[in-house]
Each structure stands twice: as structure tokens, then as C-alpha cells.
Amino acid sequence: MKWQIWLPLMLVGVMVILLTAQVRPARTQPTPPLSEWQVIDLTQPLTATMPIWPGDPEVEIQPWANYAEAGYFIHRITIGEHSGTHWGTPNTFITGATSAEQVPIEKLVAPAIVMDIRDQAAQDEDYRLSMGDVQAWEASNGQISPGSVVILLTGWQERWTNPTAFINQDEQGVMHWPGFSAEAVEFLVSERQIAGLGTDTHGADPGNDEVYGASSAIYAADGLILECLGGLDRLPVVGATVVVGGLPIQGGSGSPARVMAFLPA
């Protein structure tokens, strides 16, 4: 009977087709060349007159060698680890936690989530990002992906050239700027597994927060904090990738940084 001959041959043919389909490499979209990406600088200018946290080391930028005498030119700089656009590491608050040189390079590249609270901050300089704000953001933009850096756009970046307005101390010496609530960060860490926080102010916590609840929550999860960012109004609420440069200072609690965002053109 012919079917007794052809049936096994047909089955072999089907198996060959299936196996071929499994080993055939999947088609992927070609990676766009770098020239087709938009690169946004999120770094504030580093100057000797920029705003610094009260009590931190003064920033000094002084000529060290000049062309006439040495044939080349360099500066000597003195700066605190948390001055200028910078990132902080968990050992800032937690003894023995991850320090600057221990941060895996993969953690310095992450999807950026931007939450714009400029309207709220204009009404309340001590505004704290709430759970309601996070829920409203996700209702409009979708659930926050694990490994993201959640960045606050407060409007403080516009004050960078005015240190008095940026630090914003009252007569009692209390600083005032908006930030994250501890409750919101605890949710973002436990339920969304974020990798870090970012802000255009000098701290992830509101300036008048004396317990640093937001910073403590992200550091306890081995996350990073980016502070004194600029150019955040140029970012979309979702879709950018941040790349964080800095110094792997042995035992350091962070580093002044060059922070960039990449966007598909």
C-alpha cells in the first residue's frame, strides 16, 4: 500500500520543517546607528559658585599648570562627592553598604521614568510625591518597569544659577524644596522594583525632611540616587534611557557625575 510508504516520509518531512523553524534565528529590528539617537545632557554646569549642601566642602577650581610655564594646562579641583550633578550610594546612610566603586556598571544604565510635579511644587515648596501621584501617573502611562530610575521634575533646575533660591533656607536654616514621600518610594521599591531615584533638587527627600525617609528606602534596596539634574523638561515621561558617568571612588558615597539621556530619534 502506497500510504504505508508515503506516511513515514511525510512525517519525517514535517519534523524537519519544525526543527528548522526552531533553530532559524529570529528576525530582529536592526539597531539604529548612534547618529539616529537624540542625546540630552542632564548635567548642570560645574562651577565654584554653584549651590552646595550647607556644610559640605566648598568647591574650588584653580589653575595648576599653565602653557607658558609647563607647556600644558590643567586645573586642581576640590569638591565633595555629593556636589553638583551627582549620584549617591547606599553607604551614604548604611554602614558597610555598597560604595561608589562597588556599583555594577549595569546599574548606571537604566530606563527613565519622569514625574512632573512642577504645578504642585509651585503651590507648595515642601511638596512630597504621594501614592496618589504614582497611581495617577501609571493610570496615564502604564505600570513602571522593573529596573527603572524614577525622576522628579520639580522645576528647581531653573534655580541652579541662584544658589540662595536653590537651597531655599528660611530664617531658622530649614531648607525647602519638593521631593519623594517615603511611602511612595517604599511602594516603588517593593512593588515596582525600581533601581533608583532622580531629582533636579539637592535631595530626593523634601528639603525640610529630617529623617530622610525616601533616601533610606531606596538605599535599603541597594539603589542609587541622582541629584541636581538639569534638562529634565526635555525628557518624555517614558522612553528615555539614562547613562550615568562618575568616579568609582574607593569607599566613596557617590560621585559628581555626567548624566545623559538617550532617545530614539
For residue 32, pLDDT over 60 is answered with yes
User: Residue 29 domain-assigned?
Assistant: no
pLDDT at 9: 37
Q: Could you report the per-residue pLDDT of 68-77, keeping only the tens digit for each?
A: 999 999 999 9
Q: Which grid coordinates belong to 8?
A: 513515514
Query: Within 10 Å of residue 221's Cβ, how many Cβ atoms?
Result: 17
For residue 117, pLDDT over 70 is answered with yes
User: Residue 61 domain-assigned?
Assistant: no
User: Residue 10 domain-assigned?
Assistant: no
Euclidean distance between CA atoms 221 and 209, whole angstroms = 20
The residue assigned the cell 560645574 is 46
User: Residue 57 domain-assigned?
Assistant: no
For residue 23, pLDDT over 80 is answered with no
Number of domains in the chain: 1
User: Residue 115 domain-assigned?
Assistant: yes
* CATH assignment at residue 125: 3.50.30.50
Full-model pTM: 0.87
Q: Could you report the per-residue pLDDT of 52-97, keeping only the tens digit for each?
A: 999 999 999 999 999 999 999 999 999 999 999 999 999 999 999 9
User: Residue 247 domain-assigned?
Assistant: yes
Rounded to an integer, the average pLDDT of 133-160 is 98
Q: Which residues pair with 147 in a beta bridge?
A: none
Q: Find the domain containing 253 and state its range.
A: 35-49+81-264
Euclidean distance between CA atoms 215 and 55, whole angstroms = 19
Per-residue 3-state assignment (H helix, E strand, C coil) for 25-79: CCCCCCCCCHHHEEEEECECCCCCCCCCCCCCCCCEEEEEECHHHHCCCEEEEEC
User: Residue 14 domain-assigned?
Assistant: no
pLDDT at 265: 76
For residue 2, pLDDT over 70 is answered with no
Q: What is the mean pLDDT of the chain?
A: 91
